[in-house]
A and B are shown apart, each in its own frame.
Chain A
């Protein structure tokens, strides 16, 4: 693994109404890892991602993507928000949602053309959703909606992918399909950062992990730091999981 740092977070503090939800976070994410961010509800996992992506303004600290500010490196980053963050009754089709992934490279005013449409169709193909391209998005199952979101991130052709709970409310088949695509991305040298809930699957899916609960508890390779000690520190109770090697 290369030692290049893809994402660097320094002294990041984020507050909602003066109540800190993230406190003095220092984090270095090396290039090419498939990393899970785990922690209890309200630990600030989504907040951390949103702050890195400039969606939320931190009250202190800084973030850099390959050594530069996020604003300068937007094109290197793709983002999959929580499925529940959008209104799926919005009048649009699966293909159109995936096309939205190309808007960033287009910039203001310019419209997607044939080239962008082709890329969107390829991304739909990759997530097995091509037959649904003209389907209205409310007519898709939860798993299909998540695949559409993933396709939208793939079409951005980024170096770093941030995903907020991509496995929430999807069936087992979709979960496997998604994790296989994430593993492929890592194989292609991309960095993938996933907010994750299911502790049992961490060793199987990920090679890097960050424990978060308002403060950063630990970050590093799953095989070194995914242990009862860190889980207990993060979740506050005596947490035991059996870790399959």
Chain B
């Protein structure tokens, strides 16, 4: 691995971390689409900045682009407040207009110089190591690395300082306002950080893929944890993992680095979506099946408890009577037998004392539905689970 490769991976990883932090809060605030809007509409800000400075890495570009990002949010909210259109429509109205103004400006004035539409859309991560930052004759590394590094440090400082405020205003805007933590200030603070991060990441991954880096790692983490700090940490890990594995995937395919990183993000989400321990599709299906069996078992035990007559408790009669198919009856019978809930004597099923006690408890649980009792019962009631 040469130093250019290392630098590209380092830049990609820092971009991923810088995106994952505001991204987590955007996902929780149900504002994922706003990041899409910002990432596109900052283009005119970047272009105007470039016209003024003739330097793609000038801090003025970041300031102007971040300003355009915040203007986007203001415009979206203004249109939405008129009550004439909904939020998603307002987003769809604002960002293409701003983005296309940027596209026109590039086509008219900057087409033959460094800024071109391709780079705007998917970035030029592979070229990042060639643009060096030289301080008094000494090469201190790629400029993009310094830009995204600085943005990341500021983001982390803000996150640590205002974590409590961000959490409160994201969860409960009303309480935040009544306690004196202006949700408006926090909202625009987050929007500013998101805009600045987008500008920093723009150069590396472009306008389309920066959205993926903001949203996908947090959406993946959200499926795995119920703790905000862990969610942030997992988003960062997923982002960095995708950045590095995406780089090598691109290396192997000899294809776009940004495209490969995004593909990795999508793949990672799919895996977690399928296999997450509690919210994953497979876990949910398994749990539903378990619950169906539990309910069947309870129905069966209740039937036994309610009927002393021998003919009501004959194995074959149960098949017909509860109207279950053979397979299901067998599953339930086996389960009850295995847990010593019933005994079968000469095709007649009877509750054991354990089965009787369990049934009584379960009925109590269902009827009273008391919070405290549910707590005590849960372990017993779901004794067949996991």
**B178 neighbours in A (Cβ, 8 Å):** 53-55, 74, 77, 79
A104: chain B residues within 8 A (beta carbon): 179-180
Query: Across the two chains, which residue of chain B brings its CB closest to A52?
Result: B178
Q: Which residues of B contact A108 (CB under 8 A)?
A: 162, 165, 181
Instruction: Apart from A53-B178, A90-B228, A152-B175, list 8 A-B contacts with CB within 8 A.
Output: A54-B177, A77-B178, A86-B171, A92-B226, A92-B228, A100-B167, A106-B164, A143-B371
Question: What distance in Å separates the Cβ of B85 from its nearest Cβ neighbour in chain A?
Answer: 14
Indicate whether A97 reaches chain B with its CB closer than 8 angstroms.
Answer: yes
B217 to chain A, nearest CB (A): 14
Contacts of A79 in B (CB 8 A): 174-175, 178
Please measure, in the bound complex, the distance between the C-alpha atom of A143 and the C-alpha atom of B370, giving whole angstroms: 11
Is the pair B179, A74 in contact by a Cβ cutoff of 8 Å?
yes
Q: Which residues of A contact B (CB under 8 A)?
A: 17, 50, 53-55, 71, 74, 77, 79, 81, 85-87, 90-93, 97, 100, 103-104, 106, 108-112, 128, 131-132, 136, 138, 141, 143-144, 152, 171, 173
By a CB distance below 8 angstroms, the chain B residues around A55 are: 174, 177-178
Q: Please tell me if the beta carbons of A103 and B179 are within 8 angstroms of each other in the complex.
A: yes
Q: Is B231 an interface residue (CB 8 A)?
A: yes
Please pick, from B162, B172, B174, the residue contacting A109 in the complex, using a CB distance under 8 A.
B162
Q: Is B372 within 8 A of A131, CB to CB?
A: yes
- The reply to whether A97 and B174 form a contact with Cβ atoms under 8 Å apart is no
Question: 7 tightest A-B contacts by CB?
Answer: A104-B179, A136-B226, A81-B174, A53-B178, A55-B177, A79-B178, A86-B172
> Interface on B for A, CB 8 Å cutoff?
28, 30, 83, 161-165, 167-168, 170-175, 177-181, 222, 225-228, 230-231, 369-372, 375
- Asked whether A50 lies within 8 Å of B170 as measured between CB atoms, the reply is no
Instruction: Give the complex CA separation of A175 and B192 in angstroms.
Output: 44
- Report whether B162 and A91 are in contact in the complex, using a CB–CB cutoff of 8 Å: no
Instruction: Provide the bound-state CA to CA distance between A26 and B89, in Å.
Output: 40
CA–CA, A53 and B369, complex, Å: 37
When distances are taken between beta carbons in the complex, the residues of chain B under 8 Å from A136 are: 226
Q: Is the CB of A141 within 8 A of B227?
A: no
A and B contact pairs by CB, cutoff 8 A, 9 listed: A17-B83, A53-B177, A79-B174, A81-B175, A90-B28, A92-B171, A103-B168, A111-B163, A138-B226
Say yes or no: B372 contacts A81, CB within 8 Å.
Answer: no
Q: How many Cβ-Cβ contacts under 8 Å join chain A to chain B?
A: 86
- The distance from the CB of B29 to the nearest CB of chain A, in whole angstroms, is 9
On chain A, the residues within 8 Å of B83 by CB distance are: 17
Interface of B is mostly: helix
Q: Considering only CB atoms, which chain B residue lies closest to A90 in the complex?
A: B171
* Contact present for A71 and B180 (CB under 8 Å): yes
Given A86-B172, A144-B371, verify A103-B164 contact (CB < 8 Å): yes
User: Which residues of the partner chain B approach A143 to less than 8 Å between Cβ atoms?
Assistant: 371
Q: How far is the CA of A144 from the CA of B369 in the complex (A)?
A: 13
- Contact status of A74 and B175, CB under 8 A, knowing A17-B83, A90-B170: no
Smallest CB gap from A53: residue in B: B178
Kindly provide the distance from the CB of B81 to the nearest chain A CB, expressed in whole angstroms: 8
CA distance A81 to B181 in the complex (A): 16
Query: In the assembly, what is the distance between CA of A225 and CA of B175, in Å?
Result: 32
CB pair B164 A171 closer than 8 Å: no
Instruction: Evaluate contact between A91 and B228: CB separation under 8 angstroms.
Output: yes
Report the minimum CB–CB distance from B171 to chain A (whole Å). 5
The reply to whether B227 and A85 contact each other, CB–CB distance below 8 Å, is no
Contact yes or no, B226 A85, CB < 8 A: no
- B232 shortest CB reach to chain A, Å: 10
Chain A residues with Cβ below 8 Å from B225 are 91
For the complex, give the distance between the alpha carbons of A104 and B165 in Å. Answer: 10
Determine the distance from Cα of A91 to Cα of B180 in the docked complex, in whole angstroms: 23
Contacts of B165 in A (CB 8 A): 103, 108-109
B168: chain A residues at CB < 8 Å are 100, 103
Q: How far is the CB of A142 from chain B (nearest CB, A)?
A: 11
Rounded to whole angstroms, the CA-CA distance of A144 and B372 in the bound complex is 11
The smallest C-beta distance from A120 to any residue of chain B, in angstroms, reads 14
Contact partners of A138 in chain B: CB under 8 A:
226
Selected contact of B231 from candidates A53, A85, A91, CB within 8 Å: A91
Q: Determine whether the beta carbon of B171 is less than 8 Å from that of A97.
A: yes
Q: Say how far B280's CB is from chain A's closest CB, in angstroms.
A: 16
- Give the chain B neighbours of A106 by CB distance below 8 A: 164
B171 CB contacts on chain A under 8 angstroms: 86-87, 90, 92, 97, 100
- Pairwise interchain contact B371-A91, C-beta atoms closer than 8 A: no
- Give complex CA distance A87, B167 in Å: 12
Query: Who on chain A is nearest to B222 by CB?
Result: A91
For the complex formed, measure the closest distance between the CB of A49 and the CB atoms of chain B, giving whole angstroms.
Answer: 9
Residues of B within 8 A of A144 (CB): 371
Complex alpha-carbon distance, A55 and B177, angstroms: 6
Cβ-closest chain B residue relative to A77:
B178
Q: Looking at the assembled complex, report how far the CB atom of B272 sits from the nearest CB atom of chain A, in whole angstroms.
A: 15
CA distance A111 to B173 in the complex (A): 19
